[in-house]
Amino acid sequence: MKKLFALVDCNNFYVSCERLFRPELRYKPVVVLSNNDGCIIARSNEAKALGIDMAAPYFKTRELIRRHQVRVFSSNYALYGDLSHRVMTILQEMEAQVEIYSIDEAFISLPTDTPFDLAGQAALIRARVFQDVGITVSIGIGSTKTLAKIASRRAKKEPGHQGVFAFPAGAAGDHLLGQVEVGDVWGIGRRSSEKLARHGIKSAWHLKEAEPEWIRSQLTVTGARTVMELNGISCIALDQAPGNRQSILSSRSFKKPVQELADLKEAVATYVAMAAVKLRSQNLSAGALQVFIATSRFDQRLPPYAKSSMHTLARPTAHTPTLIRLALAGLGTIYRQGLGYQKAGVMLTDLSPTGCGQAHLFSPPLLESRPLMTALDTVNKRWGRNTLHYGAEGLSKPWAMRQDFKSPAYTTSWQELPLVHCR
């Protein structure tokens, strides 16, 4: 039975999440900023029409934003992550084969020989997601994941398709590929597109017609697979069970340089706690921990300083107090007094399934309590993040990153639930 792929893509996802609880912002220009309110990472269609560029530094666009009364939001990943989980849960309820590709995209594999039925099912998926979550999605359908990506872009940008577009076969498909720049093809990066352009390959159709062996010599086997995908030969299978993560990184830039060791300790302890929660949520343990700090690269008054410390554990663990203790010890060895640090973080590596790590013959037993960690995670999941936290993480956190325009955590914090007033 023939298989087709459908790519479900949440439209302007971060902006859509903010508008969900602020319906008066519909049809108004809206942008979302990156960590520390640095750059623009999401724009509504109205903001795009004003000429606001993706990844533009906020300070450079502030006057344009003020002049056109653009609504600005700091990134609110707790909200975005929760709404993404709701969307993906609906997809997994409706379809048997789903690959969560990113926070706002998922591939679906559907065995069918009837495009009309598939289009009808895609419309049902759009209606269900919008009804249950309030997020609008676009769905592109193709015989390969690469073609589904191209179709999804067409479904999103052309309202006449009502959010669903199936990649056409034959000459109509070639005509569509001729309108797609080669740099917009999934898997073709900037350097690859520049290399291809020098050889006259400037569109997806040119790439489709290229000799696979020549493409392999220029772009390795990955490029050759892309050519086959454009020709309707599926080479990228659906990944429903991605492998275990190799590392977990938790780091932030500070809103202003941090000099005091006490503040750095609070920040590092906070980042360790966040990483440990991710560890336990995936039933993993870490065999090594790296802590790092760095000054700003752009401060010309002092030479830049960046240092890290790695510690290997005798036995893998996901016990937060143990990881905090090791991270703070490592921080003490790399901290230099008198410097203003712009960033700090931790990385957990050598990950393995909990309970499967090899113990050392002479290592002392780890004094860790899994029931305590389970209780901590359960309380914070039920009552909101940081309901319970370690004293080492601090309270006021003056070092925290800048979030001057952050919306409430409407769905993940009891203290920030939206209020409804009845008259």
Per-residue pLDDT tens digits for 88-119: 999 999 988 899 999 999 999 876 655 557 77
- Mapped onto helix, strand or coil, the DSSP state of residue 394 is coil
**How far is it, in rounded angstroms, from Cα 188 to Cα 177?**
14
pLDDT value of position 381: 84
Q: Which helix (H) or strand (E) holds 9?
A: strand 3-10
Statement: residue 292 has pLDDT above 90: yes
Domain at 247-393: CATH code: 3.30.1490.100
240 pLDDT more than 70: no
In this predicted structure, what is the pLDDT of residue 213? 86
- pLDDT for res 115: 54
pLDDT at 300 over 70: yes
CA 410/CA 78 separation, integer angstroms:
9
Q: What is the mean pLDDT of residues 172-188?
A: 93
- Cβ burial of 256 (10 Å; 0-12, 13-18, 19+) is exposed
SS3 2: coil
pLDDT tens, position by position, 72-84: 999 998 899 999 9
The overall average pLDDT reported for the chain is 89
| Element of type H or E holding 325 | helix 320-334
pLDDT in tens, 315-357: 899 999 999 999 999 999 999 998 999 999 999 999 988 876 5
How does residue 62 score in pLDDT terms, banded at 50, 70 and 90? very high
* CATH number attached to the domain at 1-142: 3.30.70.270
> What is the residue type of 28?
K
CA distance 167 to 141: 6
Joined tokens for residue 363? 């290592």
- Tell me the DSSP string of 228-280: HHHTT---S---SSPPPPSEEEEEEEEEEEE--HHHHHHHHHHHHHHHHHHHH
What's the rounded mean pLDDT across residues 390-395?
A: 89
Residue 104, both tokens: 């706002």
Residue boundaries of the structural domains of the chain: 1-142, 168-242, 247-393
pLDDT digits (tens, 9 = 90+) for 117-161: 777 888 999 999 999 999 999 999 999 999 999 999 999 988 888
- Edge-to-edge strands of the sheet including 306-317? 247-258, 341-353, 284-295, 306-317
Say whether pLDDT at 242 is over 70: no
Q: Percent of the chain beyond pLDDT 70? A: 94
Q: Which CATH superfamily is domain 168-242 in?
A: 5' to 3' exonuclease, C-terminal subdomain (1.10.150.20)
Position 1 pLDDT exceeds 60? no
Question: Would you give the DSSP letter of residue 35?
Answer: G
193-214 residue pLDDT tens: 999 999 999 999 999 999 888 9
pLDDT at 361 over 70: no
The Cα 88–Cα 99 span in angstroms is 9
